[in-house]
Amino acid sequence: MMTNYGTPSRTFVSGKGCVLTDDQGRTYLDFLAGIATNVLGHAHPAVTKAVTKQISTLAHVSNFFAHPQGLLLASRLQKMTGDSNARVFFCNSGAEANEAALKISRRTGRSRIVATQGSFHGRTMGALSMTGQPSKREPFTPLLKGISHVPYGDLSAMSRAVSKKTAMVIVEPIMGEAGVITPEDGYLAGLRAICDRVGALLVFDCVQTGIGRTGQWFGFEHENVHPDVVTLAKGIGGGLPLGATIAYGRAAQLLQPGDHGTTFGGNPVACAAANAVLDVIENKKLMQSAKVFERKIKKGLSSTPGVADIRGRGLLLGIELSSPIAKELANAMLGAGVIVNAANERTIRIAPPLIVTTSQIDKFITTFKKVLKEVDHG
């Protein structure tokens, strides 16, 4: 394999619920879930059953034709938007979902885009052009023209950056890759007002914050705001590759036949997995439990020496450390059998499966405190 991911320190061979097993037989509590992807953990019986049934019935049809799992999933996503005019485009990843949003915005007849500094929207050239992280962009210039980046959370800067030439504004409701950066309440509604003033589309990239992770279907719903486009991936397929671009109202009519497409997007097997994921989240009330666990983790860790702050919502949390030891701490946690991620030098990001149990949360808190103490004093 190419060296783009660096050298992995573990090889995993199996998983069950929130526990992964490596090729040496060691087990790990998975508090990263494929970076906010395995919402039902590993080998969930509902996903396994749905995928097995679907692959033995119909694995693939071209996008010249429809199939029941895709239609069902599209109608469920439409229902979540509360907009009977909303329409869905299925693809395979978050980057592709954002590429589709970009192409929708071009169909407004405008081409400028405003995104935020520190944001992450994917690695394909369009998505990378919108990504606000210089280290990821610079090796690949020239990128798309006409895209500017303003500080996240700053409505005045956004207001100055947009004009009647702006096709779209794209923002993550919580910046995940940047270290789980949560904006102040009112930011998302403020973006809506700014976009309305100039007639620009408002796009929420919910690739990391969608599908129940923050305690609601989409990561923006704690504010009463209606975007024009929402992008999803990661959690929606419960581990299978699936992305979705949902456009509301007028924006849903912008793409014309022949404008866009992908061979595997909305594949029956991935859609069957997604329908199973939505069933379990609804039936087991996993969005409610995400909120309960958020409070438990915040309460359990907030007064721990070495923890400066805990950001985020539901089960997407960034634990800000008092010193820049996040990488060392994540490695030590792995050694202690718990998978977390160092989003930056000072932030540990956790995004466990939504099916995580109270005792697994307790185990995480205890291990985190112990390992942080060792690393901090070591």
Q: Which residues bind ligand PLP (CB under 6 A)?
A: 35, 93-95, 98, 120-122, 172, 176-177, 205, 207-208, 233
At residue 147, φ and ψ (nearest 5 deg) are -115, 125
Q: Which of 65, 93, 66, 90 is nearest to 78 (CA)?
A: 90
Q: What angle do CA 309, 315, 317 make, to 5 degrees?
A: 25
User: How near is the Cβ of 247 to ligand PLP at its closest, in Å?
Assistant: 17
Specify whether the CB–CB gap between 30 and 15 falls below 8 A. Answer: yes
- Of 35 and 157, which has the nearer Cβ to ligand PLP? 35
Identity of the amino acid at 306: G
- Of 217 and 332, which has the nearer Cβ to ligand PLP? 217
Distance of CA 177 to the CA centre of its chain: 9
User: How near is the Cβ of 373 to ligand PLP at its closest, in Å?
Assistant: 31
Q: Is the dihedral of CA 357, 362, 363, 365 positive or negative?
A: positive
Q: For residue 1, what are its two tokens? A: 């394999």
User: How near is the Cβ of 35 to ligand PLP at its closest, in Å?
Assistant: 6
> How many Cβ atoms sit within 10 Å of the Cβ of residue 157?
16
Identity of the amino acid at 286: L
Q: What angle do CA 247, 76, 127 make, to 5 degrees?
A: 35
CB within 8 Å of 139: residues ≥ 6 apart: none
User: How near is the Cβ of 77 to ligand PLP at its closest, in Å?
Assistant: 17
Q: Which of 233, 255, 257, 258 is nearest to 244 (CA)?
A: 233
- Of 207 and 276, which has the nearer Cβ to ligand PLP? 207
User: How near is the Cβ of 122 to ligand PLP at its closest, in Å?
Assistant: 4
In whole angstroms, give the CA distance from residue 167 to residue 200.
5
- Of 127 and 276, which has the nearer Cβ to ligand PLP? 127
User: How near is the Cβ of 176 to ligand PLP at its closest, in Å?
Assistant: 5
Identity of the amino acid at 133: Q
- Of 92 and 360, which has the nearer Cβ to ligand PLP? 92
In whole angstroms, give the CA distance from residue 298 to residue 306.
14
> Parallel, antiparallel, or unpaired for β 347-350 and 316-321?
antiparallel
Q: Which residue is nearest to ligand PLP (CB)?
A: 94
Inter-helix orientation angle 268-283/68-81, to 10°: 40
User: How near is the Cβ of 124 to ligand PLP at its closest, in Å?
Assistant: 7
User: How near is the Cβ of 154 to ligand PLP at its closest, in Å?
Assistant: 19
- Of 89 and 120, which has the nearer Cβ to ligand PLP? 120
User: How near is the Cβ of 239 to ligand PLP at its closest, in Å?
Assistant: 12
- Of 216 and 360, which has the nearer Cβ to ligand PLP? 216
Identity of the amino acid at 242: L
Specify whether the CB–CB gap between 343 and 208 falls below 8 A. Answer: no
- Of 180 and 301, which has the nearer Cβ to ligand PLP? 180
- Of 205 and 228, which has the nearer Cβ to ligand PLP? 205
Is the preceding peptide bond at 142 cis, omega within 30 degrees of 0? yes
